[in-house]
Amino acid sequence: MTQVAAPATVATSFDGVTVEAAAGGPMQLEQRGQELWAEFGDPDDASLASDTRVAPVRPRRIRRQVVMTTGSHNQQIFWYTTGNSRVLGQLPAIWLTAEQTWIPRRAAIMAPPSAAHHSETGAWNGICLSCHATAAQPRFDTPFGSRPIGEQSADSRAVELGIACEACHGPGDTHADANRNPLRRYTLHFTRAADSTIVQPARLDSRRGSQVCGQCHSFWEFANAAAEREANAHGLPYRPGDDLAATRFVVQPTSNLETAAMREFLAADAGFIRDIFWSDGMIRATGREYNGLIESPCFARATAASRTLTCFSCHTMHKADDDPRPLRQWADDQLSPRAIGDAACAACHTMDDAHSHHRAGSSGGSCENCHMPHTTYGLLKTIRSHQISSPSVQATITTGRPNACNLCHLDKTLAWTADRLAEWYGSARPALGADEQSVAASVLWLLKGDAGQRAIIAQAMGWRAAQDASGAGWLAPYLALTQKDQYDAVRLIASRSARTLPPFRRDQLPRGSAALLITSDGTFDAARVNRLVRERNNRPLVYRE
């Protein structure tokens, strides 16, 4: 949600507040009538280019008016006028909605602590506004990022802040003109005919309809420099109903890894797809759900339009009148009342206990817990993968992606999962190393995994269903260890999960649980824990959230 900043639209008080958790020194907030102001260290001060964590520097202080906010459900980001044309800067701290606290902006991004200081000035104009405003035009004088932001100017414009009608339904002037005629409106009501003057995404074919969402919920790049220049001057050319791929390069390693465009992107940035896709091409960053959808068998292999998974199979952008849930609850994931629980899957699939091998109504018997596990990360939390898949130990071994079984059965090994899948579904048992056979998969990912894997497990440890299935008594020490992680984001998630646990009692540790590295006397096998931590995948990981 993008809003003009005002006392009524900010999620927290600006009235005489000092925020210590801000890069560049404490941030002083001030409310002057309806205006919001902030004094803080200038994120564009050249002295910040050095690594501030090794030798903290105090940038020059600036005082700016806060004019706009983005976000609301998870976090709120604040934008200030820079004094340079319409270029906006971003306050160095953001507000976390659930935690009701400020954190440094940098801590909200999954990025290694060694990452160089990165100013977000101009990011609104050059990047954010294309999806956080409707019919937006960046209008930079030179391509965003081609020169230092202080040397650039922008005359950015948008039809409306936030995602308004025309973002999904296309230009509406013809529609509004035509429907001034009441006879036309009533004829359309009674015949239930499609209104040719406007795009109704749910009436489009499954691909085009989902692309309406995919215009923002996909990982894409400009096909070439000319397309970027055109979008800078006139806005993105895509309109709802168009073929998204006609005007932009939708990055999908499973289908366009070998294209010339992809080779160019990879030549410019070797990490272009590495940190946003699992190695088998499944998207691993939140906000790119279209990439997951189009790889799903329910979409890609569907044989009839009526049985093709689309965004609208589960989600609705307008709360139904007969939806009894409170607005805030619906708005959390904008699920259609027809898609709550297993209902969306049941539209095509027949469910029974024999398939899931879990009790009906239990968390293990839920379609989504097995086929849409929380393996996608963004906004300081994990969300369900939107690529429908089945648990596979082989895929886990190949990609490192935690599987649904071990995300709930946190105390079980990969070997245990391989046995269950072989017994229940005839899956082949892949060759497993000694650790995979003897140590709980969650422990391995938490100790050895990359930052993304650690975030996924840290959140799973706070999941009530997993705690019930795995026992909660042994989780606290591992979450305490994870609260010392190098990555701010991982630490924050671990802290959040730790708050879901009952007070730790050593006598509740499962003594002699080799899989959990707990010895018979109730202590941890320090040697193995330390070895696994030493073997950790410390590859710097930056999610493109």
Partner 1 sequence: MGPGTTGTVDYAARHLRVGWRALLVFATLGLILESLQGFKVAAYLDVSNETRRLMWRLAHAHGTLLGVINVLFAFTLKSSSSPPPAAPRISIALVAATLLLPLGFFLGGAWFYAGDPGVGVVLVPLGAVALLAALFWIARSTRN
Task: List residues near partner 1 by CB under 8 A.
Answer: 182, 185-186, 189, 321
* Between 13 and 329, CB nearer to partner 1: 329
Please, what is the minimum distance in Å from the beta carbon of residue 327 to partner 1? 9
State how far the Cα of 187 lies from the Cα of 453, in Å rounded to an integer. 55
Please, what is the minimum distance in Å from the beta carbon of residue 168 to partner 1? 16
Q: Which amino acid is at 503?
A: P
State how far the Cα of 462 lies from the Cα of 340, in Å rounded to an integer. 22
* Between 45 and 323, CB nearer to partner 1: 323
* Between 176 and 360, CB nearer to partner 1: 176
Continuous segment of H or E residues that includes residue 417: helix 414-425
* Between 320 and 480, CB nearer to partner 1: 320
Phi and psi at 212, nearest 5°, equal -60, -45
Q: Which amino acid is at 421?
A: L
Q: Is 482 helix (H, G, I), strand (E, B) or coil?
A: helix
State how far the Cα of 260 lies from the Cα of 150, in Å rounded to an integer. 33
Residues 6+ apart with CB under 8 A from 310: 206, 209, 210, 293, 299
Please, what is the minimum distance in Å from the beta carbon of residue 185 to partner 1? 5
Please, what is the minimum distance in Å from the beta carbon of residue 316 to partner 1? 13
* Between 189 and 505, CB nearer to partner 1: 189
* CB-count burial class (<10 Å; 0-12, 13-18, 19+) for 434: exposed
Please, what is the minimum distance in Å from the beta carbon of residue 7 to partner 1? 23
User: Token pair of 159, please?
Assistant: 């039809």
Residues 6+ apart with CB under 8 A from 316: 334, 335, 336
Residue 17 β-bridge partners:
29
Please, what is the minimum distance in Å from the beta carbon of residue 173 to partner 1? 17
* Between 187 and 254, CB nearer to partner 1: 187
State how far the Cα of 471 lies from the Cα of 120, in Å rounded to an integer. 43
Please, what is the minimum distance in Å from the beta carbon of residue 387 to partner 1? 34
Please, what is the minimum distance in Å from the beta carbon of residue 241 to partner 1? 21
| Residue 329 vs residues 319, 323, 337: alpha-carbon distances, Å | 10, 11, 11
* Between 189 and 301, CB nearer to partner 1: 189
User: Token pair of 246, please?
Assistant: 């006609």
Residues 6+ apart with CB under 8 A from 368: 342, 345, 384
Give residue 297's Cα distance to chain centre: 22
Phi and psi at 354, nearest 5°, equal -65, -30
State how far the Cα of 156 lies from the Cα of 483, in Å rounded to an integer. 41
* Between 176 and 347, CB nearer to partner 1: 176
* Between 186 and 425, CB nearer to partner 1: 186
Please, what is the minimum distance in Å from the beta carbon of residue 330 to partner 1? 12
The bridge status of strand 35-41 relative to strand 61-70 is antiparallel
Please, what is the minimum distance in Å from the beta carbon of residue 135 to partner 1? 22
State how far the Cα of 385 lies from the Cα of 371, in Å rounded to an integer. 8
Contact 408, 290 (CB under 8 A): no
* Between 186 and 424, CB nearer to partner 1: 186
* Between 184 and 506, CB nearer to partner 1: 184
Please, what is the minimum distance in Å from the beta carbon of residue 148 to partner 1? 46
* Between 192 and 505, CB nearer to partner 1: 192
Evaluated on CA atoms 284, 290, 292, 294, the torsion sign reads negative
Please, what is the minimum distance in Å from the beta carbon of residue 182 to partner 1? 7
